[in-house]
Structure 1
Amino acid sequence: MSHAAAFPAPARATAAVAARATDLSKVYGQGETQVVALDQVSVEFGRGRFTAIMGPSGSGKSTLMHCMAGLDSISSGSALIGDTELTGLNDKKLTQLRRDKIGFIFQAFNLLPTLTALENITLPMDIAGRKADRDWLDRIVSTVGLSGRLKHRPAQLSGGQQQRVAVARALASQPEIIFADEPTGNLDSRSGAEVLGFLRNSVRAMQQTVVMVTHDPVAAAYADRVIFLADGRIVEELYEPTADAVLDRMRLFDAKNRTS
């Protein structure tokens, strides 16, 4: 699958940083049961860029995303969203940060079944007591192709349409950064491609910042950059990836793991 014609290749350099980890470590347990999930990871996520995080099971990719998003605590090092340092924030401040500066898209759509698509999209802002920017909301709804489905409840929508609602919800509050954890994992290939295209377009046309954890080389090829993790460390980065190039890297890592 190729999408190069629809989306021109990005420049590699970026002036602004949406999120940054510095010597970030995450350790679970103690003594003989201790597991180092992240081992002094340092990485930057450029504003207006789409980054995919890949690696074998247990490599730390989901842990990195959860620590950067304030969903999991950090053992040592630092994590910043914009200029805000996550370490040391209390639960109230973390909740406020996630609500105001971060968008989330998960494999499970996490929609409330009793609410319409529009109500699900605006729910985080409603909870925060903020009015949605109507022009921005209309643009988001149009971008993800939901204009005719806003009064439908989740049960009346296909899986792909439900994930589009989740994408629109993540974009609606104009967050600093969106974290997507296997966002196409529950979708067929066509619906998955549509959702990835919407994320890609949000980066290109709206300067949104997206960080996505995925195991799928085709999904990773929608990103500007792919970061590969192994044993809690970043082992390689790939810019302007293609699905074949990503797959080649993954095969190389598998071969190294079998011989080590």
Structure 2
Amino acid sequence: MMHLHIENLVPVPLKSNLQKRNSDIWLQDVEFASGHFIKIKAPSGRGKTTFIHLLYHLRNDYEGSIYWNKQEQKQYNAAELAILRQQNISIIFQDLRLFPNITALENIELKRVMQPAYYPATEIDRMADALDVTKILQQRTGICSYGEQQRIAIIRALMQPFTWLLMDEPFSHLDRENTAKAAVLIAEECTKRNAGFILTDLDEDTHFSYHQTLQL
């Protein structure tokens, strides 16, 4: 299990505005329990993507502290951070960050081959079938619909080992049926690994049995 803890966290660009709001996250002391399914709820513009990017250390313009395994993440060097991401933290970006000029399958394989012993290639077929995207695996990702791309990004994130899965509005372009399928797959994978997740979204939902819901 991997320890995650934040203390008095606030992104510097949003500091003046956030100090005026009541939040369960910003400027609070929060321990995220290992293996828990956690929902972060907030309307647009409240910093959901910023929060996910801070946790993944895509930006370091913050005050306060973010602890992974009781070490402040700014203290990790580049090599240590890379290992942390490869073995313990996976992410589904809101903007997906797929490569448009290679196939959907190749996008997924780029993640899987980083830890090839973790999941065989046959797992891609199983997950693609579960999310009804088998037919597009050989298509160039840039010509797939956004909803199809979102499902490919979900499969890609599940191809690596993790103890925490970070998800930034992962179902924003999926209909109810495809959201349900994706939620089942994510819950199954997290449960199988004894992993937790942090999911940001705009509204209340019943996609998962959340252990905790926090207001950003």
TM-score in terms of structure 2 length: 0.76
Residue 122 of structure 2 aligns with which residue? 138
SS in structure 1 at match of 2:32: strand
In the alignment, residue 81 of structure 1 is paired with which amino acid?
W
- CA distance 1:81–1:176, change in 2 (3 Å): farther
Residue 9 of structure 1 aligns with which residue? none
Output the CA distance in 2 between the equivalents of 1:133 and 1:17. 18
Output the CA distance in 2 between the equivalents of 1:140 and 1:42. 38
SS in structure 1 at match of 2:181: helix
- Identify which of 73, 81, 89 aligns with 2:68: 81
Contact 1:214 1:220 in 2 (8 A): no
Contact 1:52 1:220 in 2 (8 A): no
| 1:183 maps to 2:167 | no
Aligned residues: 208
In the alignment, residue 133 of structure 1 is paired with which amino acid?
Y
CA offset digits 1:218-244 (Å, max 9, x no partner): 256553321112xxxxxxxxxxxxxxx
Contact 2:8 2:27 in 1 (8 A): yes
Residue 194 of structure 1 aligns with which residue? 181
Output the CA distance in 1 between the equivalents of 2:169 and 2:39. 10
Task: Map 1:158-237 onto structure 2 (within 5 A).
Answer: 158-218=145-205, 221-229=208-216
- Identify which of 126, 129, 140 aligns with 1:153: 140
Cα RMSD of the aligned pairs, angstroms, is: 3.2
- Quote how far apart the aligned CAs of 1:54 are: 0.6
In the alignment, residue 118 of structure 2 is paired with which amino acid?
D
- Identify which of 27, 49, 60 aligns with 1:40: 27
In the alignment, residue 180 of structure 2 is paired with which amino acid?
A
CA offset digits 1:149-182 (Å, max 9, x no partner): 4434325655444322211211111123111111
Contact 2:150 2:173 in 1 (8 A): no
Residue 22 of structure 2 aligns with which residue? none
- CA distance 1:206–1:90, change in 2 (3 Å): closer
In the alignment, residue 6 of structure 2 is paired with which amino acid?
A
| 1:19 maps to 2:4 | yes
- CA distance 1:58–1:159, change in 2 (3 Å): closer
Task: Map 1:42-121 onto structure 2 (within 5 A).
Answer: 42-73=29-60, 75-90=62-77, 93-121=80-108
In the alignment, residue 61 of structure 1 is paired with which amino acid?
K
Larger RCO (CA within 8 A; separation ≥ 6): 2
- Quote how far apart the aligned CAs of 1:216 are: 2.7
Greater C-alpha Rg:
1
In the alignment, residue 198 of structure 1 is paired with which amino acid?
L
Q: Runs of 5+ in structure 1 lacking a partner?
A: 1-15, 230-260
Output the CA distance in 2 between the equivalents of 1:83 and 1:23. 15
CA offset digits 1:184-215 (Å, max 9, x no partner): 11223332232223222222334332111101
Q: Runs of 5+ in structure 2 lacking a partner?
A: 20-24
Contact 1:49 1:208 in 2 (8 A): yes
SS in structure 1 at match of 2:6: strand
Contact 2:108 2:152 in 1 (8 A): yes
TM-score in terms of structure 1 length: 0.65
